[in-house]
Structure 1
């Protein structure tokens, strides 16, 4: 059974294995990885995972973990900053070997609950126009397509999810 956990230095090797599976680059959305982050050294990794805790008023990052394997990450960004306008309130990524198991839908549903607790009534999600898996996941969870926009990093599909009150 998967779980959503706060980033932890205890899973450094497991995170590196997931990162290696994606290949080089910063494309694991949901982890908050920046080009300047040193994730290979223990000290750099510890500094990197401490950043989301320090920025908790702006974002909540969680790892999707099962049996001490990092399967993916998801981030809930608060407010409507320039970064949110570009990247969305929610970003997620599942490592290639863990895809097609429903993990993204499961994690997105849990983070929508967190957004509700924070008082958010709707959230923006974006995905690359060629990312069919993410588009289907967003649509499955109620994403209403808004449009396609060029972000300067390529065109993205934009969706809004209205956060409903929980049913009894």
Structure 2
């Protein structure tokens, strides 16, 4: 059974539970959430899900969003940016995040491996991932999935490791 599911308005309550656990003002990597998204109302949430779905077929700034779901509970999100460009150079092709209560169970490794299969199906042979070097759990996730450190760049927010994974 797949750990990753397409964003769905049917998961509104479960998604809101995950969102509330993160807390206001915190960044939920992998969800594709923008400051302008109104996810507190059901109509705003529907617009958010529709926007994510539309990006999957977008030619200019396409991305595949999946939610990490287990037993009907949204545990996190993962996103695959389809094209190269400034966002990919800075953020990588893949971004992911798990709600605090779901961390430390190997779910990020499983989700990343599954998303690498999506990348391969899209014809992406090389996937770039970026992580702050002090984010040890993320670095370990990337390395467990075959990530090879290409180099470290210094940004205004800290040092970022750039890793390449060859999609299998």
Q: What's the CA shift string for 1:109-162, capped at 9, x where partnerless?
A: 111111111111101001122211000000011101122223444432211111
1:47-92 Cα deviation digits (max 9, x unpaired): 0111111111311000011111100111111110211111110111
User: Any conservation in 2 of the 1:2–1:66 contact (CA below 8 Å)?
Assistant: no
Distance in 1, matches of 2:49 and 2:101, equals: 23
Label 1:33 to 1:154 Cα distance change in 2 as closer, same or farther (>3 A).
farther
Aligned-residue CA RMSD in angstroms? 1.4
Could you state the TM-score of these two structures normalised by the residue count of structure 1? Answer: 0.91
Unaligned runs of 5+ in 2: none
Can you give the 5+ residue segments of structure 1 that lack an aligned partner in the other structure?
none
Q: How does 1:13-32 map to 2 (within 5 A)?
A: 13-32=13-32
The alignment covers a number of residue pairs equal to: 164
Q: Name the residue aligned to 1:44.
A: 44
Matches within 5 A, 1:119-158: 119-158=123-162
Paired residue secondary structure (2:151): strand
1:4-50 deviations in Å (ceiling 9; x for gaps): 11111111121111112112225211100111111101111110111
Structure 1's consecutive aligned runs of 4 or more residues displaced over 4 angstroms after TM superposition are: none
| Partner Cα distance (1:122, 1:152) in 2 | 27
